[in-house]
Each structure stands twice: as C-alpha cells, then as structure tokens.
C-alpha cells in the first residue's frame, strides 16, 4: 500500500493530508495547541482515529502514539552520530534513516520490512511517500512518520 503524505502550505498549526495511490484522501492530520507537538489523525469520514503527542521535559525527543484513546507505543530519538536512529516500543519495530534524514526503513523484530518512507524534494512543503507492506500497519506507520517529522522540525527550529 502506498500513501502520499503532504503538509499543508497555509496553516497556523501542523496540518497534513494523506492520500492513497489514486489520489483519494485516507487521513487528515491537524495540529492542536499544546505544550510540544500534538497531532490528531482523522479518517476520510472525519472520525478521529489516532493521536501523536510529544512528551515534554525529556532528554531526547519522545512521542506517544494512540489509536483512539488506547496507548499503542512510543518512539524516541536515540543518541547517534551521522544516521538518525529511533527506538520504538511498539510491536518490536525499528526505524533507521539515511544521513540526510529523508529516507527511512521500518523493520519488524525479524528484520522484515514493514514500511519504507522517502521524502520527495522540490515541493513547497514536506512531502513523503510511505510504502507499507501490510495495509493493516498503515496508521501506525503514518504515526511514526509524523513523530519523526515533528522531531526534525523541533530540532531545526530550536
């Protein structure tokens, strides 16, 4: 399953649209006013399906992921040189990115590919392509991309 993740150009808070391969809207993401990032995810019918919330007062950035009101895991940046690395306590997944922080691979505990994420360049706003091996993992893969993008944005603005 392929998703196209596009940040909205004019928005006071983080706001994204996520499309399927045919151009149909899968999800809409809206930032909320809060301490740290708080991103609410809505399905194509406007129903809230998930949240990515930044924990503040941590040494390295940490984001919690919720499906509905249920905590499903967290992701935090690990201390590393050159290549960004993230620790995920969700489903045994692991994320590793390239030097420029534009491309990521999400792997499961056995080393199998869960998703591949690549940033498209030459766009006015952040635009990513997310290839998910199993469509049932699409929402959680999206949450990881949102958390990584928010962490990178915070780091670049701080």
Looking at residue 97, its pLDDT comes to: 76
Q: Output the average pLDDT for the chain.
A: 82
Looking at residue 20, its pLDDT comes to: 93
What is the C-alpha separation between 13 and 30, in angstroms, rounded?
7
Please state the separation of Cα 56 from the chain's center in Å: 18
Which pLDDT band holds residue 158 (cuts at 50, 70, 90)? Answer: very low
Domain locations along the chain: 2-75+116-157
Q: Mean pLDDT throughout 10-28?
A: 82
Helix (H), strand (E), coil (C) string for the chain: CEEEEEECCCCCCCEEEEECCCCCEEEEEEECCCCCCEEEEEECCCCEEEEEEEECCCCCCEEEEEECCEEEEEEEECCCCCCCEEEECCCCCEEEECCCCCEEEEECCCCCEEEEEEECCCCCCCEEEEEECCHHHHHHHHHHHHHHHHHHHHHHHC
Long-range contacts of 56-64, Cβ-Cβ distance < 8 Å, separation of 24 or more: 61/151, 61/154, 61/155, 63/37, 63/146, 63/147, 63/150, 63/151
Higher pLDDT, 135 or 9: 135
**Residues 72-120 pLDDT 10s:** 998 887 777 766 677 788 888 888 876 556 788 899 989 999 999 988 7
């Amino acid at each position: 399953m392929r998703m196209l993740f596009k940040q909205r150009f004019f928005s006071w808070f983080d706001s994204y649209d996520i499309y399927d391969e045919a151009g149909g809207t899968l999800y809409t993401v809206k930032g909320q006013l809060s301490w740290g990032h708080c991103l609410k995810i809505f399905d194509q019918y406007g129903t809230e399906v998930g949240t990515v919330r930044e924990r503040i007062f941590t040494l390295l950035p940490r984001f919690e992921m919720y499906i509905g009101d249920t905590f499903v895991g967290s992701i935090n940046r690990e201390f590393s040189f050159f290549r960004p690395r993230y620790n995920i306590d969700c489903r045994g997944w692991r994320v590793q990115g390239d030097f420029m922080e534009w491309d990521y691979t999400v792997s499961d505990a056995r080393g199998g590919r869960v998703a591949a994420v690549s940033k498209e360049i030459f766009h006015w706003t952040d635009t990513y392509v997310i290839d998910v091996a199993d469509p049932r993992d699409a929402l959680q893969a999206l949450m990881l991309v949102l958390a990584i993008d928010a962490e990178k944005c915070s780091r670049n603005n701080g």
